[in-house]
Amino acid sequence: MQDRMRPLIAGNWKMNGTGAALEQIAKLKTLLEEAGNIESDVLVCPPATLLHRAAQSAEGSPIRIGGQDCHSNPNGAHTGDVSATMLFDAGASHVILGHSERRTDHGETSQAVNEKVQAALSAGLIPIVCVGETEAQRLDGTANQVVNEQLSTSLPDNFGKTRIIIAYEPVWAIGTGRTPTLDDIAQMHAHIRTLLVSRFGSTGENALLLYGGSVKPSNAEEILGTADVNGALVGGASLLANDFFSIIVAT
């Protein structure tokens, strides 16, 4: 049986927040300071426009800052895009890649995610790769197969040399208030673990598997206590410091 890994609680602010939202980082910093010894790593992924200021606000605290996407090239003629190098330069340590909203809104394929993962690794960022099935895929019994395909294509072979972080986010649970049963979460995390171990060996054993999709203060403890769940990727409930803090201390 594996020793308990230090969990990661990551907040994805999506396209929410202007300068005023930085107050939430300051508040979270205070809550974490007051709490003292926290048993999780904490990451906040604000919109790119806030990243640098968020990193400055988080200075001197355990809060780390991440991006929500990056381009696969380090620079060049890609109007409107942000590279992994730029995220790193602005103060990011991590980047979320392959979020279902990117896959849907921007037609992002697993091959494109693979290239972004390589760019993130070259820039010194830790990628958090998102996978997950739609409701139709869960209902027709192909959830495992969909996740297999997403994982096998999205992860480059050299991913095995670094820390792997995967977020299992069933698309139908994101922002809906609905979550899978704890058994379904445990089953999918075990499935992902098996795939990672067979491809990456001990690096797969030590991969952090986050669950994402309608995690909130009221369900965090049971979800985070589920087998093979090593943290959470939190959308809506990460926008307010008090809610996000309640999830952080539920580990």
Please give the residue ranges that form the binding site for ligand PEP (CB under 6 A). Answer: 12, 14, 169, 174-175, 212-215, 233-237
C-beta closer to ligand PEP: residue 127 or 236: 236
CB of 6 to ligand PEP, least distance (A): 21
CB of 118 to ligand PEP, least distance (A): 22
Two structure tokens written together for 146? 């969909």
The question of whether 99 is a catalytic residue gets the answer yes
Task: Say if residues 117 and 129 touch (Cβ distance below 8 Å).
Answer: yes
C-beta closer to ligand PEP: residue 88 or 172: 172
DSSP-assigned states of every residue in 92-120:
-SEEEES-HHHHHHS---HHHHHHHHHHH
C-beta closer to ligand PEP: residue 41 or 169: 169
CB of 237 to ligand PEP, least distance (A): 6
DSSP-assigned states of every residue in 150-202:
HHHHHS-GGGGGS--EEEE--GGGTTTS----HHHHHHHHHHHHHHHHHHHTH
Within 10 angstroms of residue 189's Cβ, the number of other Cβ atoms is 20
CB of 235 to ligand PEP, least distance (A): 2
Catalytic residue among 99, 101, 108, 133: 99
The question of whether 222 is a catalytic residue gets the answer no
C-beta closer to ligand PEP: residue 197 or 240: 240
Task: Say if residues 82 and 123 touch (Cβ distance below 8 Å).
Answer: no
Catalytic residues: 99, 169
